[in-house]
């Protein structure tokens, strides 16, 4: 389930519920947070113990669970297969096979870096996300919205929630992120034809962006940029950048 399926007007209560519980119908529609949380824990166990073997993969369920949880802890960060492999006691090739499995089963998203011919050193490693934020929260033992508010993954969780809804709603757009070694960064770049749109995701209701965001816009020559935040209404920020709720942005991109 996506935001447009549960809330036409982008009501914050519906948005927060979908963000916390994720898009699996039985999780989203559960009677309360505990029932939703337990359904997601059961989904994770079932996937690890039953679904993976049925797909023909001979993998250690406990090790795969540890890997999945590691992905949750580095939500929205650069994928470092060697570092994760060292923690798990496996090679980076094995880590790549784990990523491929979760990517092919639509449980993780690997977001690739933007390719640009610039006189700057670009980050070439992809970023990794648990696609469903409900599963992300279950893997991190986040049961309520208050738990989420106080957790280090809060910002990355919002980022992945926004990205998944945007990418699903705009299937014909090319997607990437941009980051340079000097710190210029944009969470999401959308491209279609000659149009290029920059999107920054901020979980704050009073969002701000750092110098790296403006440097990235200048480096790429992007004139259309948005900050997606859990705000009630859209408003102008600076230099033509607009702060907007997720549903407003999607309506303007459709």
Task: Give the tens place of pLDDT for each residue, 35-60.
Answer: 999 999 999 999 999 999 898 888 88
pLDDT value of position 182:
87
Mean pLDDT across the chain, nearest whole number?
93
- Cα gap 133→130, rounded to integer Å: 7
- Cα gap 235→222, rounded to integer Å: 19
CA atoms within 13 A on the CB side of 39: 17
pLDDT value of position 119:
66
- pLDDT higher than 80, residue 148: yes
Cα angle vertex 74, ends 136, 12, to 5°? Answer: 45
pLDDT value of position 8:
63
pLDDT band of residue 6 (cuts 50, 70, 90) is confident
pLDDT value of position 9:
63
pLDDT value of position 49:
93
- Cα gap 241→171, rounded to integer Å: 23
pTM: 0.94
Check residues 173 and 10 and name the one with the higher pLDDT.
173
Which residue range(s) make up the domain with 36?
3-253
Q: Find the helix packing angle between 246-253 and 154-169, rounded to 10°.
A: 20
Alpha-carbon dihedral angle through residues 11, 12, 15, 20, given to the nearest 10 degrees: -150
- Cα gap 202→158, rounded to integer Å: 7
pLDDT value of position 211:
94
- Cα gap 201→198, rounded to integer Å: 10
Beta strand residue intervals within the chain, DSSP E: 77-78, 108-111, 127-130, 174-179, 185-192, 195-201, 224-228, 235-236, 242-244
- Sign for the CA dihedral angle at 58, 60, 61, 67 comes to negative
pLDDT value of position 5:
83
Of 140, 112, 142, nearest to 128 by C-alpha is 112
pLDDT band of residue 2 (cuts 50, 70, 90) is confident
Asked if residue 228 lies in contact with residue 249, where contact means CB atoms within 8 angstroms, the answer is: yes
- Cα gap 164→178, rounded to integer Å: 17
pLDDT in tens, 190-204: 999 999 999 999 999
Q: Across the chain, how many H-helices and E-strands are there?
A: 13, 9
How many domains, in total, are found in the chain? 1
pLDDT value of position 10:
62
pLDDT value of position 108:
97
pLDDT value of position 165:
96
Average pLDDT over residues 133-159: 97
With a pLDDT cut of 70, the percent of the chain lying above it is 98
pLDDT in tens, 96-127: 999 999 999 999 999 999 987 776 788 889 99
């Amino acid at each position: 389930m996506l935001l447009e399926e549960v809330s036409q007007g982008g009501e914050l209560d519906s948005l927060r519920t979908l963000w916390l519980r994720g898009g699996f119908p039985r999780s989203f529609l559960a009677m309360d947070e505990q029932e939703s949380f337990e359904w997601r824990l059961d989904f994770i166990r079932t996937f690890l113990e039953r679904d993976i073997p049925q797909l023909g993969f001979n993998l250690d369920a406990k090790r795969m669970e540890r890997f999945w949880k590691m992905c949750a802890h580095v939500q929205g960060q650069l994928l470092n297969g060697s570092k994760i492999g060292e923690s798990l006691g496996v090679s980076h090739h094995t880590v790549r096979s784990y990523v491929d499995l979760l990517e092919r089963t639509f449980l993780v998203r690997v977001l690739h870096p933007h390719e640009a011919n610039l006189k700057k050193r670009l980050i070439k490693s992809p970023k990794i996300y648990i696609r469903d934020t409900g599963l992300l929260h279950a893997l991190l033992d986040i049961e309520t919205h208050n738990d989420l508010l106080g957790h280090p993954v809060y910002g990355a969780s919002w980022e992945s929630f926004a990205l998944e809804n945007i990418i699903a709603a705009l299937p014909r757009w090319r997607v990437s992120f941009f980051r340079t070694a000097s710190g210029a960064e944009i969470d999401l770049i959308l491209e279609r034809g000659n149009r290029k749109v920059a999107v920054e995701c901020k979980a704050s209701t009073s969002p701000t962006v750092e110098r790296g965001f403006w440097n990235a816009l200048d480096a790429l020559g992007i004139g259309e940029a948005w900050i997606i935040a859990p705000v009630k209404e859209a408003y102008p920020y600076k230099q033509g950048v607009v702060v907007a709720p997720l549903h407003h942005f999607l309506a303007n991109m459709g």
